[in-house]
Amino acid sequence: MILTLSCPDQPGIVARVATTLFERGANILDAMQYGDEETGRFFMRVVFDPGPGEPEALREALGRVAAEYGMDWRLRDPKERRRVMILASQQDHCLTDLIWRWRQGELPMDITAVVSNHPESIFPHTDLKGIAFRHLPITAETKPQQEAQLLGLIQETRTDLVVLARYMQVLSNDLATQLAGRCINIHHSFLPGFKGARPYHQAHVRGVKLIGATAHFVTADLDEGPIIEQDVERISHRDTPKDLVRKGRDIERRVLARAVRWVLEDRVLLNGQKTVVFTG
């Protein structure tokens, strides 16, 4: 089982959680915690073997601890795979990489659907065999109807997590709000610099020596959501915008894959406009 929690920081939280698990016959296998001095919040992730005790009794005991300390908490059996929907537009490198890793067993998830504003034929090099594909075209005039269809599909398929794998449509404030905390985007730039369109061209004009990519939670504010993961690669004055795009694709793939895996493994906790990521 995996227990994640956050609450106002105070002495005794770790001891109280550990004692509660011990008293119910559970055995802690891994534990990480962090106290944020700036916000006064405490964060914890515990992996444990629940032992022979009754699951509901354990959940009730943890619920009492959570109420005592004012915790936001979640208890999940890692055998229960998250249901994930992937959205993509014309570029398929992130989509293809996620599907490949999923087929290799690297990402413990069930793909509910791949959704695109372009037809399936736009992805001739992506192995979509056995995966539901939905084409939801969109224009400025049809955006409200398309997003209503998309939200209906998310609800119908009981999707837990939505991944924007180079989905080049800006979600409306309403949809972004409804997906708060369960929608990840990959931005092809090292945020907070070079937001919006054509960031590699912006970087080239500025003569940067490093380019990067950022995986973040989606919020109503464009490219302002809590950052989950970032990475960079060194470039030189010889690199053209095309070179930057090529190198950037590699960064985007690995950054998004790490972010998705960490969320699937309950390693990412929201901390206001930031995240706490237990990756040790």
CATH number corresponding to 2-76: 3.30.70.260
DSSP H helical ranges for the chain: 13-23, 55-69, 93-103, 143-156, 173-178, 199-206, 241-264
Q: Is 156 exposed, middle or buried (0-12, 13-18, 19+ CB in 10 A)?
A: exposed
Comparing CA positions, the residue from 54, 46, 62, 61 lying closest to residue 1 is: 46
pTM: 0.90
**CATH superfamily of domain region 82-264:** Formyl transferase, N-terminal domain (3.40.50.170)
Q: Are 29 and 12 in contact (CB under 8 A)?
A: no
Structure tokens at 37: 């001095």
The per-residue pLDDT for range 138-154, each reduced to its tens digit, is: 998 999 999 999 999 99
Enzyme catalytic residues: 223
The enclosing H or E element of 232 equals strand 227-234
Q: Is 32 exposed, middle or buried (0-12, 13-18, 19+ CB in 10 A)?
A: middle
Comparing CA positions, the residue from 232, 229, 199 lying closest to residue 217 is: 229
Q: Bigger pLDDT: 267 or 223?
A: 267
The per-residue pLDDT for range 31-68, each reduced to its tens digit, is: 999 999 999 999 999 999 998 878 899 999 999 999 99
* Local confidence band at 190 (pLDDT 50, 70, 90 cut-offs): low
Tell me which DSSP letter residue 122 carries. Answer: G
Q: What is the mean pLDDT of residues 269-277?
A: 94
Q: What is the mean pLDDT of residues 226-231?
A: 94
- Residue 212 confidence (pLDDT): 87
Delimit the CATH 3.30.70.260 region(s) of the chain. Answer: 2-76
Ranking 158-172, 174-188, 200-214 by mean pLDDT, the lowest is 200-214
Comparing CA positions, the residue from 64, 63, 59, 61 lying closest to residue 76 is: 59
d(CA 46, CA 116): 37
Tell me which DSSP letter residue 100 carries. Answer: H
Q: Are 126 and 94 in contact (CB under 8 A)?
A: no
The per-residue pLDDT for range 206-220, each reduced to its tens digit, is: 777 888 899 999 998
Q: Which is it for strands 72-76 and 41-49: parallel, antiparallel or unpaired? A: unpaired
